[in-house]
Amino acid sequence: MPIPPLQPNFGTEIIYSIVVLTICLMIYFEVNKFFKLTEYKGISYFQNTFLFFAIAYFFRFLAKPVVRSLFSIRMYFFNTIILLVFIYASCVAVFYLVYSLVWKKFGVVNGEILIHLIAVVIALIVLLTGNVLFFIVVNIVLLIYALVVVFLERKNKKFKMYFIYLLLVIFSILNIIDILVPNFIFGLQLWIYIFSIVVFLILLYKVLKEIK
């Protein structure tokens, strides 16, 4: 049976953004309790993932045409800045997630600076060249890398979140594509929103359960 097309309107956009933003900030502040106690780098990278997801989803909301038209945000400069921050924050969030899994393998090299530099370069290239394909390719490469990392980590039986991490990366990429190439997933946006919220909720539940 084919999936019925569902198009989000302004109300849906605002609810979706508020829900994801709230979940991300809740995870961030909840995880911060453990970080303040341990100052453990892995926890810091993990919580940064959700801080940057929160920033990304806020700017994603502003980047939606339905929102821009409502607030008459038509100035090219502001649109560019909004898109720049959105792409940058989305990239940083996914990079931090992957980095939280592999940071021990980097040894003394500080991968954080690299994360921000690469994200800025990607955002600038996408905006200056208008080459969305480049962005999609970069994200697919990142997804493959995440798949490999997650697959390797899967051998560690204690690491239970591999499937959720994968879904998080996939839905994050789909959310970015939704902004840059709206027709690419036309009619499926609402389904993506629902599944994204479910993924974030699972993560929040797991975090709240572990950090009592």
Closest CB 204 distance from another protein, rounded Å: 13
Q: Radius of gyration of the chain from Cα atoms?
A: 17
- Using CA atoms, how far residue 23 sits from 53, 96, 127, 139, in Å, is 10, 17, 29, 23
Binding mask 161-180 for another protein (x = CB under 8 A): xx--x---------------
Q: Is residue 32 near another protein by the rule CB under 8 A?
A: no
Helices (H), 64-188: 65-71, 76-102, 111-129, 132-154, 162-180
User: What is the maximum alpha-carbon separation in the chain?
Assistant: 53
Which span sits near another protein by CB under 8 A: 75-83, 118-126, 154-162, 186-194? Answer: 154-162
Give the separation between CA 160 and CA 170, rounded to whole angstroms: 18
Closest CB 174 distance from another protein, rounded Å: 22
Q: Under rule CB under 8 A, how many of the chain's residues touch another protein?
A: 24
Give the separation between CA 164 and CA 61, rounded to whole angstroms: 23
Q: Is residue 96 near another protein by the rule CB under 8 A?
A: no
Tokens of 211: 């950090």
Closest CB 134 distance from another protein, rounded Å: 29
Q: Is residue 24 near another protein by the rule CB under 8 A?
A: no
Give the separation between CA 173 and CA 22, rounded to whole angstroms: 20
Which span sits near another protein by CB under 8 A: 6-14, 68-76, 153-161, 179-187? Answer: 153-161
- Using CA atoms, how far residue 155 sits from 150, 159, 208, in Å, is 9, 8, 25
Closest CB 162 distance from another protein, rounded Å: 7
Among 45, 86, 135, 193, binds another protein (CB under 8 A): 45
Closest CB 153 distance from another protein, rounded Å: 5
Among 21, 87, 101, 126, binds another protein (CB under 8 A): 101
Q: Is residue 212 near another protein by the rule CB under 8 A?
A: yes
Handedness of CA 122, 126, 127, 128 (dihedral sign): positive
Enumerate binding residues for another protein (CB under 8 A). Answer: 34, 37-40, 42-43, 45-46, 100-101, 153, 156, 158-162, 165, 206-207, 210-212
